[in-house]
Amino acid sequence: MLVALRVKNFILMDALELRLEPGFNVLTGETGAGKSIVVGALSLVLGGRASAEQVRPGADEAEIEALFDVRGSDRAMAMLDAAGIASEGELVVRRVVQATGRSRAYLNGRLCTAGELQALAPELADVASQHESVALTDPSTHLGYLDRFGRLVPARSELAADVSALEALTAELRAARELERGRGEREAFLSFQLQAIDALSPRPGELADLAAERNRLRHAGRLHDITRRAASRLDQGDDAMCDELARLASELRAAAEIDPALDDVARAVDGCWTELSEAARQIARYAERAEADPDRLSEIEDRMYRLEGLLRQHGPTLDDVLAARARLAAELERLSGVESHVAELERRRDALLAVAAERARKLSAKRRKAGEKLGAAISSELADLGMGGARVVVDIEPHGGDRAELVVDGARLGQDGIDRVEFLISPNKGIEPRPLRRIASGGELSRALLALKRVLAECGPAGLYVFDEVDSGVGGAVADKIGRAIGDVARHHQVLCITHLAPIAAFAGAHFVVAKENAGGIAKSSVTRVDKKDRIAEVARMLSGAKVTGASLRAATELIEAARL
């Protein structure tokens, strides 16, 4: 539902704030006053095309803001939630058009594209005019309307769940068959990869150990010389450091017997001698082992080279290589049972397809019965609206099944079933029904949409319905019927109707008048809500023209009172 529309510097309007009521809102005024500007502003916030001509002369930019209450549309709430837009049941759509023609759009303050607005538009408003209709002329919506009319939504939801499972199962089967087709080549490849890893049997951390050992062997001669000299200086010969430290420790122990204050120092030196002696022995043992081993060095370098080859394939670490081995072995095991897996998937797919096919056939049969009733109901409404020669056909055809994986009786099976639905209309007798969107006359289109909406009033999504030029080419009794029809629609939806006919305006719950004046040499349009006497005067003007008479005022009063009955 549209709560408020605010317009600034848009075409002839410098400022406007329009607050609509939940039911039937009517917009009237003299021809050329600017009624279509309101519809144009609304179309712009619904993703319509922006242009420099929409900016009021002398202004830098035009700005349109619309506040919608979307609590009645689960789909709109879901779309906003999916886009990450917080709404709490309210949505502010803002569109700014610069004098250069460039535009920006916002949803609850978040920058968005015109395409996003267009995707959301059918959940917010349906504009029916000589030039456009957002939702009901779009064939992609017709199946949904038919299912709502026939109370078939639960059956379609059950089918959608089956088809969703079928699609997932079919995708799994497709992958399994592809695996089966390349099984021999894939098994050979996997076996080769596994053999290459198993031939080396790598261990976690092995490369680091090998690198350390290789470094020792490469410098074995130098390490031997250094450790041999160190061992000699520490513990060999008359001036060995360990012997000298042993003598010092002995002397300090003797001194500590005389003066206990030296006891700690004596023990410290004695401990140093013990640690140095142990270090000397370890260095001597290392020197004995530190010798060149060209064969072992060659063996290590060869293994490291082969391990690094595995790293290039499966690395960057040996842990990754071992993880790759586990994956390769698991895939090889799966391949060994792929034939039985494909057979099991085919069995499950065929069983589920049989269930879904039966559901789809039953749903299609119910749609055909509902389609006949819907077409007849809309045709009857058109007759009441002055289009007695018009006939509506709900065309139901099978979806093309070429190259489709899920097919029922030659038709492609989707989550909506096997049917393609489109509303066709013959405006006059003897004319073949054509798609609704191809009707040339704006008045015929508006009345056709009004008939559809009246029949589907309890079925369609909540939101705003806009009727522009719905009164084109009619008058008298037909205008009264159109007014009553719009009133019926307004019991389920918010309606904004732009009309020149008093019998239609009389049914409105909220009446707005558009007027135009010259301000500083520039035309300016304004919108004012009228009530009571002002409303009667406006309806009287619509009846008699610019000159309002007592007779027209009385007639206007009678029209408004009759509309309330």
Of 205, 213, 190, 216, the C-alpha closest to 307 is 205
Backbone φ and ψ of 135, nearest 5° = -110, -55
Geometric angle at alpha carbon 326, from 325 and 327, rounded to 5°: 90
51-67 tens-digit pLDDT: 999 998 888 999 999 99
Q: What is the length of the chain?
A: 565
**Domain locations in the chain as residue ranges:** 187-335
Report the pLDDT value the prediction gives residue 374, as an integer from 0 to 100.
94
* CA-based torsion, 121, 119, 50, 442: positive or negative: negative
Report the pLDDT value the prediction gives residue 216, as an integer from 0 to 100.
84
Under DSSP, is residue 549 helix (H, G, I), strand (E, B) or coil?
A: coil
Q: Are 352 and 413 in contact (CB under 8 A)?
A: no
Q: Are 435 and 424 in contact (CB under 8 A)?
A: yes
Could you count the other beta carbons within 10 Å of the beta carbon of residue 58?
Answer: 10
Q: Are 539 and 560 in contact (CB under 8 A)?
A: yes
Q: Are 219 and 291 in contact (CB under 8 A)?
A: no
* CA-based torsion, 48, 52, 57, 62: positive or negative: positive
Q: Are 443 and 504 in contact (CB under 8 A)?
A: no
With a cut of 70, which residues of the chain have pLDDT below it?
128-136, 237-238, 402, 439-446, 458-462, 469-476, 519-521, 546
